[in-house]
Amino acid sequence: MMLSNGGSLYIDDGKPVKGLFDRTLENLAMKTGTIAFNVPLGFGMLLGALEKDEDLRRRFFEGLDLIFYAGASLPQDVWAGFERMAMEVKGEIPLMTSSWGLTETAPSAMMQQEPAPRSGIVGVPVNGVTVKLVPDADMRCEVRVKGPNIMPGYFNDPEKTAAAFDEEGFFITGDAMLFLDATDPNKGMRFDGRISEDFKLQSGTWVRAAQLKLDMLSRLAPLAADLVITGADRKQIGVMIFPNREELSRAGFELREEGGACTCTLLQGEIHRRLSERAREISGSSARVARAMVLAEPPSMPEGEMTAKGNLNIRKVLARRAELLERLYDDNDPAVVTI
């Protein structure tokens, strides 16, 4: 976009992790732009910083035309926060958009083609790309793609390559989507998680973990920096919460660490209130979160719990913290919140 329009591209050498995000704020203090591109974790941290800095907030939004996120789903509360700030600063909202793809699709395969009312909408296939949809009974579609931008295979790995394509030559992405408007496919699709992240409860009920995670992040904001949905082969859904320590400290919560988990009567009471309130609004075990635990240690990038994009590697988190996962389902553990 910069090259084709004769613009200037400024690359931020900060990262959306503790200790390195301050560098991003230093860079923004020197130069803002007309387009802001980041992963959702970075935008989430930026939102918090802009709320505290009126001058930076004004300069960031006054010339901003486009907010583009990619790499993961943007929590709706972050989307709403940017809308609110933009309206306060300039009286209008910049175009907020996204696309969808993988490294194997180099990288974009679908792109939003019109203004969207909310986060998570990825639009329609880009020119030259064919998308194959494999629907379930609820029209939640597994997405497969074919086109000139799709990789021919994995280097020196014919077995992995063969498993990556179906009998018609479509690359199997493992992602799931829903039509934004079931009566009008041209409105595009919205991302609905990874097929591999879904799991079944003991009852055989499917839990769509990715969408539930976004809902819970919104419900627990700003207490939770991130979280993992649990419950595979168990009776109830639970959440393991990575706390937003800065926000919790500002709110007066004092955390006490105990064997990898955090206890705080006031915080646990607030989490209980929010989970109970949500439980009254929904029905069915596939979306009812019945227990929670606040984790003491943040996700570790060296241990593989977090990717460079800021996404959690859920399987690694659950494997590395298997003992905490067992404690989450112990009703007698003082660190566990149950409803």
Give me the mean pLDDT over the 6-22 stretch.
89
CA distances from 214 to 23, 209, 218, 226, 236 (A): 27, 9, 6, 10, 18
8 Å CB contact between 8 and 32 = no
310 pLDDT more than 80: no
Task: List residues bridging with 72 in a β-sheet.
Answer: none
Cα 145 to its chain centre, rounded Å, is 22
Give me the mean pLDDT over the 133-137 stretch.
92
d(CA 155, CA 74) in angstroms, rounded, equals 32
pLDDT at 284: 86
Which fold, 21-93?
A: Rossmann fold (3.40.50)
Q: Indicate the CATH number for domain 123-196.
A: 2.30.38.10
Query: Which 3 state secondary structure label does DSSP give 92?
Result: coil
The pLDDT-based confidence of 172 (bands split at 50, 70, 90) is: very high
pLDDT at 71: 80
d(CA 14, CA 21) in angstroms, rounded, equals 6
**How long a stretch of residues is the chain?**
339
177 pLDDT more than 90: yes
Q: Indicate the CATH number for domain 198-338.
A: 3.30.300
Angle at 14 between CA 247 and CA 107, to 5 degrees: 105
32 pLDDT more than 90: yes
In this predicted structure, which of 13-22, 29-38, 53-62, 235-244 has the lowest mean pLDDT? 13-22
Q: Given CA atoms 149, 101, 134, 121 in this order, what sign does their dihedral have?
A: negative
pTM score of the predicted model: 0.72
d(CA 332, CA 243) in angstroms, rounded, equals 22
Q: How far separated are the first and last CA of the chain, in Å rounded?
A: 50
CA distances from 148 to 99, 128, 151, 238 (A): 17, 7, 8, 42
Q: How many CB atoms lie within 10 A of CB 157?
A: 11
Give me the mean pLDDT over the 61-80 stretch.
90
Residue of 7, 31, 26 whose CA lies nearest to 15: 26
Residue ranges per domain, the chain?
A: 21-93, 123-196, 198-338
Tens of pLDDT, residue by residue over 86-121, are 999 999 999 999 999 999 999 899 999 889 888 989
Tens of pLDDT, residue by residue over 225-260, are 999 999 999 999 999 999 999 889 989 999 999 899
Cα 242 to its chain centre, rounded Å, is 14
DSSP state of 312: B
